[in-house]
Structure 1
Amino acid sequence: MSEVPDLTAVEWLGSSSVRAPRTVADLVGVDLPVYVRILHPAGRVEGGTCVDVRWDVVARANGRRMHPEVEWGSITGSWSVDAQPPAWEESPDSGALTESVARGLAKVLRHVGADSGVVWAGTWEGWDTEWPDLEGPVCRFNATGREMLAYSGETAKFLPASPQDTMRDYLNLCWSPAGHWCVSTDIDLNSTVIGASEDIAARILESEDLEAYRVSPDQKLTWDTDKINPLPAPPS
């Protein structure tokens, strides 16, 4: 008879005391000491190579202000604009953990010793893909109203740093079975939110590789969240 997997770590998700939809805590799914939002970089071509462009660069180019609730359409002036050269030429990726963000997160977790052992990960069932070299999915579960597939394995399987490791494109959740941290990249958002301990959150906020802000658990992540910069027309 095959061993029945311990699904306690999966059942832990969804225990957040904040139930309002599309909030930081709703996306992370659990109560943790600190929440951080990492902005996915835009891109600009230099010498035939696409390089990362931080949101604060785009904001300065458009005379906008940066703050924890900033939204991309509010600093560009429109959700439909495709480029604003020379500042940026490619929009931030939505629904996917970018290479630089994955690399920065992996570096932080490695530094604090939080990347050792087995972690859990979830991918949206709609991606219709599987991680190679991993048995599973272990089970199906619901998170933020989406059907997810759960896998377990070493951190490096889910937060790879090399451009050849494309499975990070399908990583929507990744969390410590000990409950120390949880990373969430919703399929519709161009930022990643993390719930973590004070130490891990501090390292993320201090990282030069990541453009991150400390956020409240009840902060919404919707197109009209930015109340400081001019509100553009809603995305079509």
Structure 2
Amino acid sequence: MEWISITGSWQYLQGSSDQPGLWNNQPAQGSLPVPQTAHLSGLLARHTTTTNRCWFAVWRGFGALVVPTVGIPTVAMTHRPMVLLTGPLTAATTSLEHPPWDQRASLWWPEDRAWCVATDVDLMTTYVGGSQACINALTADDRLEAIPVQADQRITWDSDSINPTPPRTAH
């Protein structure tokens, strides 16, 4: 499902309006919120043997990063070069930008590569790749809004296969 389709209007994109009683804020874009990150990392810890050594990548283009962007390893991503950091799994909740901004790693995975978490800077959705047992644990957890998707699932504004995409209207 895509935000524009489930809200029924383009006016709710980028937090330009709310729907009181239903939601007052759109989901965070580009960074998984701390409570969900903490819970997710706790679940994922059960599916790796290397919780003390994980990798974290954050887009070098964020303007208020607290980590250096020159002279440290990077991950070459088309249009999104990322700074590569390492630390324990518990570091997944750490904001990598100076306040008041709040930005966690866009990509994170354990040393044993048992799973990988990805939140694109332009999306409201986080994806996790892992074993079937890992994905089953995530989708069965009541505290996460998680569904299994296929590797070829499109993630564009018009890819909602459940709710119709509303027409764009001039405001």
Q: Which stretch of structure 1 is more off in the superposition, 147-156 or 223-232? A: 223-232
Which of 28, 47, 53 is the matching residue for 1:118? 53
In the alignment, what sits opposite 2:144? 210
Which of 110, 130, 136 is the matching residue for 2:66? 130
**1:132-167: CA deviations, max 9, x gaps?**
9xxx9741222253111101111111x22xxxx433
Q: Where does the alignment leave 5 or more consecutive residues of structure 1 unmatched?
A: 1-69
In the alignment, what sits opposite 2:162? 228
CA 1:79 to 1:124, structure 2 compared with 1: closer, same or farther past 3 Å? same
CA 1:153 to 1:235, structure 2 compared with 1: closer, same or farther past 3 Å? farther
**1:161-220: CA deviations, max 9, x gaps?**
xxxx43372310001222211100000000101111112111111111110010000111
In the alignment, what sits opposite 2:42? 107
Shift of 1:113: 4.9
1:11-160 correspondence to structure 2 within 5 Å:
70-81=1-12, 82-114=17-49, 116-128=51-63, 129-131=65-67, 138-157=72-91, 159-160=92-93
Shift of 1:131: 4.4
In the alignment, what sits opposite 1:166? 95
Q: Is the 8 A contact 2:48 2:112 kept in 1?
A: no
**Structure-1-length-normalised TM-score:** 0.61
SS, match of residue 61 in structure 2: helix
CA 1:213 to 1:111, structure 2 compared with 1: closer, same or farther past 3 Å? same
Question: What is the root-mean-square deviation of aligned Cα atoms in Å?
Answer: 2.4
- Deviation >2 Å, runs of 4+: 110-115, 165-168, 233-236
SS, match of residue 169 in structure 1: coil
Letter in 2 for 1:103: A
Q: Is the 8 A contact 1:181 1:197 kept in 2?
A: yes
**Structure-2-length-normalised TM-score:** 0.82
Letter in 1 for 2:131: S
Indicate the structure with greater strand content: 1
Q: Is the 8 A contact 1:204 1:210 kept in 2?
A: yes
Q: How far apart in 2 are the matches of 1:126 and 1:235? A: 31
Letter in 1 for 2:109: W
What is the aligned residue count?
159
